[in-house]
């Protein structure tokens, strides 16, 4: 009889230890998942804030370029904005969003925002340089500035769409 109780005690101890281990692992996995989702949400909020900031800057730049075009058409002197755009953070956001394996569509959209911001930055830098070197009243300069304004305006709308998608994804978690 003692051996049966002894074996029963060992089996009960093993089962209890195993169940305690499983519960502990389940709790740790649940905490880790919650922490990962919190990191993901914070990353989405940071990305949204960055894209929103650049959307505001693009709105500002569009207005300034519009004023420059009007000044040049009237033969007035103009002042080119002295600030720049720094899209590297968006590339980092894209890479980090991708590391969570939750939304390939967001990775694509943030990547597009990064690409377009780089494109705008390059065009903006080129136009600033061309206006300094060449005759600002040159019709070619006006055509290029109009093209840059169209590029910026198109991307203001695109940035709004991405912000909306980020908001949806944030609400999902």
Write the pLDDT tens digit of every residue in 1-43: 688 788 888 899 899 999 999 999 999 999 999 999 999 999 9
96: CB partners within 8 A, 6+ apart: 43
69-to-66, 79, 85 alpha-carbon distances in Å? 5, 11, 21
Q: Which CATH architecture has domain 37-172?
A: Up-down Bundle (1.20)
Q: pLDDT-derived band of residue 157, with 50, 70 and 90 as boundaries?
A: very high
* Res. 114: pLDDT tops 90: yes
* Mean pLDDT calculated for residue range 54-65: 96
69: CB partners within 8 A, 6+ apart: 142, 145, 146, 149
Helix ranges restricted to H, 75-138: 88-99, 104-133
Cβ(151)–Cβ(99) under 8 Å? no
* Mean pLDDT calculated for residue range 123-148: 82
Per-residue confidence (pLDDT) for residue 171, from 0 to 100: 94
This model's pTM is above 0.95 = no
**In percent, how much of the chain has pLDDT > 90?**
68
- 83 φ/ψ angles, rounded to the nearest 5 degrees: -80, 170
């Amino acid at each position: 009889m003692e051996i049966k109780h002894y074996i029963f005690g060992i089996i009960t101890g093993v089962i209890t230890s195993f169940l305690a281990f499983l519960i502990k692992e389940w709790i740790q996995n649940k905490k880790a998942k919650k922490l990962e989702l919190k990191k993901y949400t914070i990353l989405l909020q940071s990305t949204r804030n960055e894209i929103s900031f650049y959307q505001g800057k693009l709105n500002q730049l569009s207005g300034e370029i519009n004023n420059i075009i009007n000044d040049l058409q009237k033969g007035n002197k103009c002042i080119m904005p002295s600030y720049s755009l720094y899209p590297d953070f968006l590339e980092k956001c894209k890479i980090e969003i991708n590391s969570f394996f939750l939304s390939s569509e967001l990775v694509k959209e943030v990547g597009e925002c990064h690409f377009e911001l780089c494109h705008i930055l390059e065009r903006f830098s080129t136009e600033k340089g061309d206006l300094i070197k060449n005759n600002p009243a040159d019709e070619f300069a006006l055509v290029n500035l109009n093209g840059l304004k169209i590029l910026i305006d198109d991307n203001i709308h695109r940035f709004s769409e991405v912000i909306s998608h980020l908001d949806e994804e944030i609400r999902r978690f």
